Structure 1
Amino acid sequence: MSDIITTTGLCKQYGKVLRVKDLDLKVQEGVVYGFLGPNGAGKSTTMKMILGLARPTAGTIAVFGKEVNSRNRLSILKDVGSLIESPSYYGHLTGAENLRIISTLKGVQDKDIDRVLQIVRLENHKEKKVGQYSMGMKQRLGLACALLGNPKLLILDEPTNGLDPAGIQEMRELICSLPQQYGMTVMVSSHLLSEIDQMATNVGIISRGELVFQDSLSTLHEKSRPSIAVRTLNNEAAVKILDEQGVSCRTQDGYLLLSKLADNELAGYISLLFDRHIGVVRIEERRESLEDIFLELTGTAVSL
């Protein structure tokens, strides 16, 4: 698959603060790319630079294999739809009337309005004034605006922000359907790991402006390291005995945490502890959660 978005050494500095530092993104064609990071990590700034809404301090951006510059930016953006921060709308106009204004600005035929309304499931509310829309409906209208003209690339900044659980589920289903049903590539940002986990096929994690992980979501799951948790009646003595056998372990919340062992190895060490009169009261297999991995990568608590 070819790369739809590529950034090389991308930087953005505001005053003396470097908000984005040496960012090398690769967003492949036909994927939902989850751009994940804590609030203030540089996600929105990066997306604005890709869209030409902010000028990079250093580095390059390529979209559809073409380096984005002042000469070709508008021609490239004809094939890009975006929803950055909160959608803008005219509350006194209907959903269809709002879309008609955007279609005129984009140079898109009015017949495309019914198509995008159907995609975002607002066809039955198109004559309703947007001021009467729920938050979820307004977000879907914003997505409909981004979909006008059938773009090849969709860039969505925190599209589930402020939505209730039902609205989040609707938005998630819509985003997941776009690559397969409409051949779009989607880049979606979030500070919610649980959301990216349920939407994305590929993920980039940014922390303090730096990219700390970029790969498929399945590779991120593989980083979840299994371990064995053992609780004994004398953990201090047990640690010394295991250390004599060359088994490294650490204590956490009253348990000894050992690296994943083969069953026969574990059985041998447990028998040794019994022989040394160390009572073993509990043995558990544990796997590091995605939240733990996120915390390790970013050093920041993750929102759930």
Structure 2
Amino acid sequence: MSDIITTTGLCKQYGKVLRVKDLDLKVPEGVVYGFLGPNGAGKTTTMKMILSLARPTAGTITVFGKPVNSKNRLAILKNVGSLIESPSYYGHLTGVENLQILCALKGVSEKDIDRVLQIVRLENQKEKKVGQYSMGMKQRLGLACALLGNPKLLILDEPTNGLDPAGIQEMRELICSLPKQFGITVMVSSHLLSEIDQIADNVGIISNGGLVFQDTLPTLHERSRHSIAVRTLNNEAAARILGGQGISCRVQEDYLLLHRLPDNELAGYIYRLFERNIGVVRIEERHKSLEDIFLELTGTGVSL
């Protein structure tokens, strides 16, 4: 599988502040690539540089195997659709009229309008004025605008912002359908870990402008280490006894944390505690959540 976007040593500096630092992205073709990070991490700045809306301070960007520069810019962007920040529209015009204007600007046939409206499920609302659209409908219209011209790559910046749960579910389903049904690679940013977890095939995590993780979503899940939490009536004594048996454990709050063990081994160690008159009052199996993994990777206290 080839990479549809690659960046090498990508940097962006505003004044004395380095917003994006030595970013090496690899977005494979035919996937939903989740670009994850807290607000202010550098996601939007990175996407703007990929779209030539901001000039890199250093580094290179390649899209469709071509370097993004003044020579290739227009040829590349003809095959890229984007929705950065909030969608723009004329509220006093209908949905179809807004799309007609964009067709003229992009040099796309108006025959494409019905296709994109069907994809985003707005075909029954196309004669309604956009000012009367719900937030979810406006976001879907923005997605329709990005899909005009049948792009090979779609870049979406926080597309579920401001949506209610029903709108988020609709947008999620639409994004997931694009690679499978239409062969469109999607790069989508979010500060919501739960959103990326439900739509992405590959994930890049950015923190303070630097990339701290990039791989498939299952690989990220593999970082969730399982452990056994045991609560006793005397944790210090229990830790000494288990340590004498060669079991590594540590005290955390009111529990002893052990590496995950086969059931028969765990039962044997618990029996030894009973033999030494150490009462065991609770045994739990624990694993790190994706949020825990994110905080571990970024070293931040930002809750996603």
Shared fold per TM-score greater than 0.5:
yes
User: Residue 262 of structure 1 corresponds to which residue in structure 2?
Assistant: 262
SS at match of 1:38: coil
Task: Verify the 8 A CA contact 1:193 1:302 in the aligned structure 2.
Answer: no
SS at match of 1:47: helix
CA shift, 1:243, in A, is: 2.4
CA shift, 1:265, in A, is: 2.5
Residues paired across the two proteins, number: 304
SS at match of 2:124: helix
Whole-angstrom CA distance in 1 between matches of 2:302 and 2:183: 31
**Segment drifting more, 270-279 vs 5-14:** 270-279
User: Residue 193 of structure 2 corresponds to which residue in structure 1?
Assistant: 193
Letter in 1 for 2:210: E
Does residue 131 of structure 1 match 2:131? yes
User: Residue 42 of structure 2 corresponds to which residue in structure 1?
Assistant: 42
Whole-angstrom CA distance in 2 between matches of 1:91 and 1:252: 56
Q: CA RMSD for the aligned pairs?
A: 1.1
Whole-angstrom CA distance in 2 between matches of 1:144 and 1:252: 51
Whole-angstrom CA distance in 2 between matches of 1:247 and 1:241: 9
Whole-angstrom CA distance in 2 between matches of 1:249 and 1:14: 47
User: Residue 293 of structure 2 corresponds to which residue in structure 1?
Assistant: 293
SS at match of 1:194: helix
Whole-angstrom CA distance in 2 between matches of 1:145 and 1:247: 60
SS at match of 1:123: coil
The percentage of counterpart residues that share the same residue type is 85
- Within a 5 Å distance, the mapping from 1:194-209 to structure 2 comes to 194-209=194-209
Does residue 111 of structure 1 match 2:78? no
SS at match of 2:296: helix
Whole-angstrom CA distance in 1 between matches of 2:100 and 2:176: 26
Whole-angstrom CA distance in 2 between matches of 1:197 and 1:256: 30
Q: Deviations over 1:146-196 (max 9, x none)?
A: 000000000000000000000000000000000011000000000000000
Q: Deviations over 1:48-93 (max 9, x none)?
A: 0000001111110000011111111111010000000000111111
User: Residue 92 of structure 2 corresponds to which residue in structure 1?
Assistant: 92
**Segment drifting more, 268-277 vs 228-237:** 268-277
**Segment drifting more, 226-235 vs 260-269:** 260-269
Task: Verify the 8 A CA contact 1:158 1:189 in the aligned structure 2.
Answer: yes
Whole-angstrom CA distance in 2 between matches of 1:246 and 1:56: 54
Letter in 1 for 2:21: K
SS at match of 1:230: strand
SS at match of 1:247: coil
Gaps of 5+ in 1: none
User: Residue 222 of structure 1 corresponds to which residue in structure 2?
Assistant: 222
Whole-angstrom CA distance in 1 between matches of 2:201 and 2:144: 22
Q: Deviations over 1:174-226 (max 9, x none)?
A: 00000011000000000000000110011111111111111110111111111
SS at match of 1:273: helix
User: Residue 81 of structure 2 corresponds to which residue in structure 1?
Assistant: 81
Whole-angstrom CA distance in 2 between matches of 1:43 and 1:256: 39
| TM-score, L = length of structure 1 | 0.98
Letter in 1 for 2:50: I
